[in-house]
Amino acid sequence: MNYFEPHLTPDELRAISAIGLAHMGDAVYETLVRTWLCVHGKATGKELHRATIALVCAQKQAELAQRVLPQLTEEELAVYKRGRNANVHAMPRSATPAQYHAATGLECLMGWLYLQGSKERAEQLFRAMMEEET
C-alpha cells in the first residue's frame, strides 16, 4: 500500500464508516485549502491560519458543498448523503446541525475520492468550489 497514492477497491471503501471517510476528507480538504491560500497569496504569516479557519469551518464547507452538488455523479451524491446522514456525536456551537451535516457530507466525499485514487476529480470539485473565492 502506497499511503501517498491510495487506490482502495469499492469493497474496501464500503468497509470504512462515513465518519472514517469524513476524517480522511477533512485532511484532504484542509490540504487543498492551505495549498490554494499559499498559491494565490491570499494570506501571509498570522493571516494564513485565520484564512484557513475561515474556509474549513462547517458553515463555509456547507456553503461550498452547495456549489458542487449539481455537478456530482449519482455515486458521488450517494457518498455525500452517506456522510451528511452519518450519526455524529458532537457539533460545534458555531454551526447549525444542517451546516455541520452538509460539511460532514463534503468531507466524506473528499475522503472517498482521495482513498479511491480519484485525486483529479477531488481537484475538479475543489476548483469549482473556490471559483467565487478568487
The Cα 93–Cα 19 span in angstroms is 19
Cβ–Cβ contacts within 10 Å for residue 97, how many?
10
Instruction: List the one residue out of 13, 6, 3, 2 whose CA is nearest residue 109.
Output: 13
The Cα 134–Cα 132 span in angstroms is 6
Instruction: Indicate which residues carry an active-site annotation.
Output: 26
Cell of 37: 491560500
How many helices (H) does the chain have, and how many strands (E)?
7, 0
Q: Which helix (H) or strand (E) holds 51?
A: helix 46-56
